Amino acid sequence: MINFRPIDLHAARMPWMAGLLPCLYVPIAALDSSAIETYVGKIRAQLSPRSNCKALLVEAHKPVKPDNRLSIWSLPAAANLHYPRQVWVHVDYSGYRRAYIRGFPNADLTDFVIDHVMNRRVARLKGFKYLRVIPVSKAVNSSHGGLSERWAVEYHSSPKMVKLNKASQAVVQYADLSDIVKMINMEGGGSLMEIVNEAQKLVDLPDAK
């Protein structure tokens, strides 16, 4: 019998309301290492030799089986979403590129930067201490910064969201569609929102209106 990765039901409300199926519930932030071990995977190694527990190599729990009706699963890059080994770092840890190379010593990162899927300032506002880091092409990285991240920081700095985030019982956060776009290194010629709108087709069921 296969035991699939548990789902944080408090955190699942966001992707559920966005219309994402459970196979697209991708953890990108965690409250602490205990939350990682419960909802992400088994911590297998420390990747920050001089800073205990600041960078972690995680062997991911088996995710929900992909729904092959979704176009996204036909893309090779979709394997990045639930990659079996992942690097998670403390929100304040600066050596995350070196940590990623320790976790994946054979990875060719020539044309890539290592980036947090969730913006660190947003993570701090939401109370998350650990974030997943991934290789992102330089073009995709530049397209996901700037305005959208400033908007997110302003939004979660508002009194209403400070109160809601403080009261939240979620111990992980799952990726939204813009995060998924970033994780599959999806590029486009338009704005970030145009790319995200195009990506919506990848995660909708064929008969979705």
For residue range 149-202, list pLDDT tens digits in order: 777 888 888 889 889 999 999 999 999 998 999 999 886 555 666 777 788 999
Per-residue pLDDT at 12: 97
Contact 84, 59 (CB under 8 A): yes
Confidence of residue 145 (pLDDT cuts 50, 70, 90): low
Whether 45 has a pLDDT exceeding 80, the answer reads yes
Whether 146 has a pLDDT exceeding 80, the answer reads no
- 71 CB burial (10 A radius; 0-12, 13-18, 19+): middle
Burial 172-195 (b: 16+ CB within 10 A, else e): bbbbbbbbbbbbbbbebeeebeeb
pLDDT, mean of residues 46-63: 93
Contact 48, 95 (CB under 8 A): yes
Tokens of 90: 């403390």
Per-residue pLDDT at 129: 98
Residue 161 lies in a domain: yes
Tokens of 188: 């486009």
86-90, 143-147, 176-180, 200-204: which range is least confident on average? 143-147
Residue 105 lies in a domain: yes
Contact 30, 50 (CB under 8 A): no
pLDDT, mean of residues 127-132: 98
Residue 96 lies in a domain: yes
Residue 8 lies in a domain: no
- What percent of the chain lies above the pLDDT cut of 70? 90
Number of domains, the chain: 1
Residue 143 lies in a domain: yes
Residue 175 lies in a domain: yes
Domain that holds residue 129: 13-203
Per-residue pLDDT at 195: 75
Instruction: Name the β-bridge partners of 30.
Output: 130, 172
More confident residue, 50 or 175: 175
Residue 83 lies in a domain: yes
Residue 2 lies in a domain: no
Per-residue pLDDT at 169: 96
